[in-house]
């Protein structure tokens, strides 16, 4: 599932306004969860709009290895015959997660309350990322772990059945940890509770209820309390996956910074736990119009029309961090073209993503000609007041560090640069957005593969 080992260097350059309309791939968070819940449901679920990137395909492969039947039709519809809660089978091979932290952490929760043993492996990037924050609550539920030093992959998990229900307060805002505990709670007798002082994306809660789980969410003075009744029976569903707001974010920023641009992104998920970037861009003065807002499968979706507009630096409200944690790299790019110095902090989580995204973006933007100050939890970026970035010098490439969001963010920066921006490896983009470069070209960007 990991991308090809041979790097694919790429240069993105300015080529006039970006114009047109497009849809972005299905939301990655919802795609992962749709497969997992369908894999535990009784009957056949049908999924349309599934993101077919490497991360989601890693989830599908793991579920097949544990007994679910998952097939894709020629028309792009996915059909999943689930095994029922408690019905996961012992995998005969290691579960290869590629670059997908979401697959790993959520599937760990799934396995933790089943009487099976599973080994999780991943690529070089994923194998550097700590899993301790998921191990801790799942171990309290009774699961056993043998991990590489630092609670890293490769990792072997021995599930416990019956597991022990817990009442768990999240020490950091993490939808992945929350979801892992809830997934373990599905096959655990009694009530499993997760308390989150800071709200995080709530796709697991919405979708679990849709599949028939008995789940309640209570708003309290200390935050949200999610209670799940275990030994659930999930019922097969038909699911339409809306467009990924994280993927849409690249075009919202690209059209905002490239003069003369006018781009419409259709069918974007508008869940309020996922719209932090939209809020931040509007605070900076971006021209983004919400059109045709509607409900699809329990989630709000809309079309977004974005036109070039001058951006002004802001101090990004830290309370936006949970609703835009994956979008900080592309927000940093927007800040690069604003008037004044943007301060974006409150994002400690970026240090433990596919790469250290704070350090990676500081280095990449610096190579492209920007003045950047690195903080422990974010960046301060001196914007260019709409002027193009100088770009990378001949023979110089910015390092993507096997991180798809770094690669795509710097690709967008290259769309308004004097010399273009060369990226050392664009191959990781396939993990979440396989058609990104095709879309860039169709909108008018100039892309050139470089020889090594």
CA distance 128 to 149: 10
The catalytic residue among 303, 326, 403, 424 is 326
Query: Residue 221's pLDDT is what?
Result: 93
DSSP assignment letter at 272: G
| pLDDT for 5 | 59
Asked if residues 256 and 286 have their Cβ atoms less than 8 Å apart, the reply is yes
Residues comprising the binding site for phosphoenolpyruvate?
28, 101, 129, 176, 357, 405
Q: What is the pLDDT of residue 409?
A: 98
| Rounded-to-integer distance, Cα 188 and Cα 184, Å | 7
Q: What is the per-residue pLDDT for 4?
A: 47
pLDDT tens, position by position, 260-301? 999 999 999 999 989 999 999 999 999 999 999 998 877 899
Domains and CATH numbers, the chain: 10-26+242-449 (3.65.10.10), 28-240 (3.65.10.10)
Residue 3: its pLDDT value, please?
45
| Active site annotation includes 326 | yes
Predicted local distance difference test score (pLDDT) of residue 219: 95
Closest CA to 239 of 2, 104, 44: 44
Q: Is 59 helix (H, G, I), strand (E, B) or coil?
A: helix
Q: How many CB atoms lie within 10 A of CB 214?
A: 14
Q: Are 344 and 378 in contact (CB under 8 A)?
A: yes
Token digits of residue 11? 């240069």
* pLDDT score at 1: 42
Question: Which pLDDT belongs to residue 452?
Answer: 55
Nearest to residue 31, comparing CAs of 45, 15, 51?
Answer: 51
Residues in Cβ contact with 231 at an 8 Å cutoff, skipping those fewer than 6 apart: 85, 86, 186, 187, 188, 189
Element (H, E) at 223: strand 223-229
Which residues does the chain have with pLDDT short of 70?
A: 1-5, 452
pTM: 0.86
Q: How many CA atoms lie within 13 Å of 321's alpha carbon, on the beta-carbon side?
A: 17
């Amino acid at each position: 599932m990991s991308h090809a080992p041979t790097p694919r260097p790429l240069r993105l350059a300015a080529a006039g306004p970006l114009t047109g309309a497009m849809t972005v791939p299905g939301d990655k968070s919802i795609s992962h969860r749709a497969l997992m819940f369908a894999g535990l449901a009784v009957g056949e679920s049908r999924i349309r709009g599934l993101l077919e990137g490497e991360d989601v395909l890693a989830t599908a492969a793991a579920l097949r290895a544990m007994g679910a039947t998952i097939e894709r039709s020629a028309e792009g519809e996915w059909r999943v015959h689930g095994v029922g809660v408690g019905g996961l089978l012992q995998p005969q091979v290691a579960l290869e997660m590629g670059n997908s932290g979401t697959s790993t952490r959520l599937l760990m929760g799934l396995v933790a309350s089943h009487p099976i043993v599973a080994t999780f492996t991943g690529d070089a990037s994923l194998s550097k990322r700590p899993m301790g924050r998921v191990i801790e609550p799942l171990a309290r539920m009774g699961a056993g772990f043998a991990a590489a030093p630092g609670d890293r992959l490769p990792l072997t998990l021995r599930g416990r059945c019956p597991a022990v229900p817990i009442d768990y307060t999240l020490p950091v805002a993490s939808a992945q940890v929350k979801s892992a505990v809830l997934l373990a709670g599905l096959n655990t007798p009694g009530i499993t509770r997760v308390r989150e002082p800071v709200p995080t994306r709530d796709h697991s809660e919405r979708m679990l209820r849709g599949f028939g789980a008995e789940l309640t969410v209570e708003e309290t003075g200390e935050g949200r309390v999610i209670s799940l009744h275990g030994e659930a029976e999930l019922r097969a569903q038909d699911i339409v996956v809306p467009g990924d707001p994280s993927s849409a974010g690249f075009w919202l920023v690209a059209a905002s910074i490239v003069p003369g641009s006018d781009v419409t992104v259709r069918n974007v998920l508008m869940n309020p736990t996922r719209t932090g970037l939209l809020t931040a861009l509007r605070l900076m003065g971006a021209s983004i119009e919400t059109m045709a807002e509607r409900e699809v499968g329990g989630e709000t979706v809309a079309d977004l029309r974005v036109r070039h507009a001058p951006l002004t630096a802001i101090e990004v409200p830290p309370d936006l961090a949970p609703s835009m944690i994956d979008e900080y790299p592309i927000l940093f790019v927007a800040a690069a073209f604003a008037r004044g110095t943007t301060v974006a902090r409150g994002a400690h989580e970026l240090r433990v993503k596919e790469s250290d995204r704070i350090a990676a973006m500081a280095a990449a933007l610096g190579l492209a000609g920007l003045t950047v100050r690195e903080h422990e939890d974010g960046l301060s970026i001196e914007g260019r007041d709409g002027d193009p970035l100088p770009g990378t010098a001949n023979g110089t490439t910015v390092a993507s560090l096997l991180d798809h969001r770094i690669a795509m963010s710097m690709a967008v920066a290259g769309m308004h640069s004097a010399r273009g921006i060369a990226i050392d490896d664009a191959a990781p983009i396939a993990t979440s957005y396989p058609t990104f470069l095709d879309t860039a070209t169709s909108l008018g960007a100039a892309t050139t593969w470089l020889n090594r």
